[in-house]
Structure 1
């Protein structure tokens, strides 16, 4: 039966040919000196039988041993933390350590050496090396909003450890623009979703009380942030956020943002977009050109959906040393890329006034007015090509001990290793 006549077309899987630093080489076009190797992913025609379903983030536990947070299902608690054992030329081994989780996304090794996981409404920690890892699970932060997908567009609990040991936790906005289904404001003079008692659309700060202990009460570090899934702390102490901005129908608006997070600041959601422009639904509420609105330090291309970023430190790519790596997860013509940015001493992307950004299938567009970050595109050809590859959907990014860049591609259920270009 032909596709479209009762039978869905098979999902496009990555095609491999040859090797990339010992791993099956993917048909992803990369910057010179770089190649992409497939660590694990579904075979062509077997997408429904995959074990990793929606891998979002990953951390290296030991040499050849990784942990992967697999969201698995947006509507049911089917999430998994996998132990992934890898060796070039050998089958990947996947062992489930924790199962039945609700939207696990955030994943990090804490200062105590234990692994911390951001689930939908809590952050917990566990010991992955224990004989029974599930028996070591302990709650760290509870009471995060129960952000069911159909009630809340941004349900994922991302977190980072601040230089003073506090936990900084993303709580996404409950909607796209703080408007109801009829386009009316949720609130009159202020958006209830960002200014109300529930304290969403911002970053919470939980103070550290002692080893493994954080205050259950929180303060709002920053407000007016639609979704801070891309959150990172530079060695200088800078807290950097990459904003997933409004989902307007306009293909070229609004721009995504890079923000330096400072205590007490309001970054504009849902009143402002770009540098100082009022959003259509909230015109007249906030003077976006005033100190009431903290503008981004850099603009990013529209709809790229940055989901992760980290500064590169590794021996494999000296030309990337210190640069900010970022994954663009978006499905539109601007997304599907792994990029790098030159940064200043604070780890903030360097901007220029005549920057441009790439679009698929070819070409580029100028940013226009406003300081924008000029991306070094490490994967200029990661758009969909029938018979060769799907469009990339990079989520988590981790720099391995050897300097290779590992990426979790959630929509394509794959783990990809970007390495120096050699067989």
Structure 2
């Protein structure tokens, strides 16, 4: 059980109208971004098909004993198909455009938005793994999609800057948040693919992607990259490039290698290119955009300038136009051992395909060498024929090992649990 908020929160007030861009913001004086010139040598990766046949069963250490947690889940208004033993229920509703999530103190879930300009705090006050209250922490912000929490501070990514709200727990019940510290404002201001995911890596650095400001175009500088910086905003640098629009990444728990999803280009047909699951174990790798898509598809306009063999191919080709967003290596203690260190991906769903695809959570199974050996559905039901019930965005593992799923279309967060027979 989590600690209740108790005396920390007292009487909670909805915090509306927090100024997202006050007149005078403390500045962390970031250094200019470092955009290094890389020798683009692909890491040797075995050739993969979109749906490889399993070659070996993944192994994992036995999961720890599952902590006791209430199993009374609030039913959803639609059916979701899950593997045997898994159940899904409503964790929180009333969160318009709920996107990225971050776990804060005492079970608080911070939630960013893309179109609402708001940041929410979702509170489970009695530790029953069901939210009792949603607070609007800030509004009027510039696409605050990305949120992260570390050492008592809430970090928020707008289009062109990264902000930090210190001692956030002490301000949850106030009518106004303190002015944020501007960690870095060196990012482009383009709205197209400008929304960001924000997470701290195992190296203590803060990572944020920068999408291409187009469907497909020549890019330079910070465009089409994943960047990282020190926790104080200094030392901004490009970690990986040739990335069209990444909206989800995580680190392999044993190797600490960065893995990320990428959204493929539109207008090349219903069935190409695939979205991508990529692996970036070292600084300076290039994944091919705008010259090559999905590892093997030359771009009709730019592909003549560079060959696909010059770039790092995906570890796993995902469905075409599925809009693969949030991803997590499962490291919790609730799911069966065969899920340990396997990858769960939220597919937001296609918007440019004649037959819709996605709207689901997929499982990518890995072998002991971290090669993808299968790509299979884990949770389906947000798309029922032509009926769209919602669109999964981000995933978050709770301390008890259950899995949260945000849905920006339904304005909700769901919780998936496993109950052994």
TM interval, short-chain normalised = 0.7 to 0.9
Question: 1:376 maps to what in 2?
Answer: 376
Assess, with a 3 A threshold, how the Cα gap between structure 1 residues 336 and 164 changes in structure 2: closer, same or farther: same
CA distance change for structure 1 residues 52 and 160 in 2, over 3 Å: closer, same or farther?
A: closer
Match of 1:37 among 80, 89, 95: 89
Q: Does 1:276 align with 2:274?
A: no
* Contact 2:113/2:144, CA 8 A, preserved across alignment: yes
Deviation at 1:40, TM superposition (A): 2.8
1:311 to 324, 329, 352: 329
Q: Which moved more, 1:60-69 or 1:271-280?
A: 60-69
- 1:102 equivalent to 2:142? Answer yes
Query: Which position in structure 2 is the counterpart of 1:157?
Result: 196
The answer to whether the 8 A contact 1:81-1:99 is kept is no
Q: Does 1:22 align with 2:40?
A: no
1:402 to 391, 400, 403: 400
Q: Find the residue that maps to 2:208 and give its secondary structure.
A: strand
Secondary structure of the residue aligned to 2:383 is coil
* Structure 2 Cα separation of the partners of residues 411 and 376 of structure 1: 23
Q: How many residues align?
A: 338
Give secondary structure in 2 for the equivalent of 1:130. Answer: helix
- My pick for the range that moved more, 397-406 or 279-288, is 279-288
Which position in structure 1 is the counterpart of 2:285? 265
Where has structure 1 moved over 6 Å in runs of 4 or more? none
Give matches, 1:34-113, under 5 Å.
34-41=86-93, 51-73=94-116, 78-85=117-124, 92-110=132-150, 112-113=151-152
What is residue 130 of structure 1 aligned with on the other side?
170
Shift of residue 70, structure 1, vs aligned partner: 2.9
The answer to whether the 8 A contact 2:239-2:283 is kept is yes
Q: TM-score, normalised by structure 1?
A: 0.73
Structure 2 CA distance for aligned equivalents of residues 70 and 330 of structure 1: 17
1:72-92 Cα shifts (integer Å, max 9, x gaps)? 43xxxx322334336659873
Residue correspondence of structure 1 range 280-295 to structure 2 within 5 A:
280-289=300-309, 292-295=310-313
Q: Structure 1 residues 58 and 222 mapped into 2: Cα distance closer, same or farther (>3 Å)? A: closer
Partner of 1:227: 245
Q: CA shift at 1:343, angstroms?
A: 2.4
Where does residue 227 of structure 2 map in the other structure?
Answer: 204
CA gap 1:321/1:91 in 2 versus in 1, 3 angstroms? closer
Measured in 1, the distance between the counterparts of 2:204 and 2:109 equals 25
1:63: how far off? 4.8
Q: Deviations over 1:348-396 (max 9, x none)?
A: 4523xxxxxxxxxxxxxxxxxxxxxx2232213332368xx73431111
What is the root-mean-square deviation in Å for CA atoms of aligned residues? 2.6
SS of match in other structure, 2:177 = helix
Change (3 A) 1:199 1:90: closer
Structure 2 residue 263 is the aligned partner of structure 1 residue 247: no
- Matches of 1:71 and 1:301 in 2, distance apart? 24
Q: For residues 227-277 of structure 1, what are the alpha-carbon distances to aligned partners after superposition, in whole Å with 9 as ceiling and x for unaligned?
A: 121122223220111111112351111111111123222211111112233
Q: Which runs of 5+ in 2 are unaligned?
A: 1-69
Runs of at least 5 residues in structure 1 that lack an aligned partner in the other structure = 1-19, 42-50, 179-190, 352-373
Say if 1:419 and 1:91 are closer, same or farther in 2 by CA, change over 3 A. Answer: closer
| CA shift digits 1:185-231 (9 cap, x unpaired) | xxxxxx2xx2x3x420112232x3xxx4232x533222210012112
- Work out whether 1:143 is the aligned partner of 2:165: no
